[in-house]
Amino acid sequence: MKLSTYNFLTSMAIKGVKVGYPLKLTISKKDVVESEFNPVFIERLLPKLDWSAVYGAAQVAELAEDIPATQPENISDDEQLLQRLHHLLFEIDVLEGQMECPETGRIFPITDGIPNMLLNEDEV
């Protein structure tokens, strides 16, 4: 699971959960996969992403020194930051770990790179 995917995941579907975001991420095994850098795409994707979850992922992936805590303006002029975002979001592949619902503590395991967000019938 790439950290770009992590940015889109929520536990909002659990009954009674209001926001369910961002999920508390733990990484126990990760891989780094090379991927072609497309600065235009990263820039286009940013408005869809939640920066606090981007920064949160950077902290968990031990890349926090690469990413500012708040989203800078005019990011398109900062090729180095776009490159770092590309690395964080598309080159870190979480193989084993978990995500935790911030409101209920429900754990969503990540196994062999696949997050399991499936809820039981009595949870929805």
Binding site for other proteins (CB under 8 A): 1-2, 4-5, 8-13, 21, 35-38, 40-41, 44-45, 48, 50, 90, 108, 112-119, 124
Q: How far is the CB of 48 from other proteins (least distance, A)?
A: 6
φ, ψ for residue 23, nearest 5 deg: -75, 145
Is 37 or 51 the residue whose CB approaches other proteins more closely?
37
Look up tokens 């235009």; give the residue: 40
Say which DSSP state 72 is in.
Answer: P
Taking alpha carbons only, the member of 107, 102, 117 closest to residue 20 is 102
Q: How far is the CB of 19 from other proteins (least distance, A)?
A: 10
φ, ψ for residue 100, nearest 5 deg: -120, 135
φ, ψ for residue 49, nearest 5 deg: -90, 155
Is 11 or 98 the residue whose CB approaches other proteins more closely?
11
Q: How far is the CB of 115 from other proteins (least distance, A)?
A: 5
Q: How far is the CB of 35 from other proteins (least distance, A)?
A: 6
Is 55 or 90 the residue whose CB approaches other proteins more closely?
90
Is 65 or 121 the residue whose CB approaches other proteins more closely?
121
- State the alpha helices, DSSP H only, in 31-104: 39-45, 51-60, 79-86
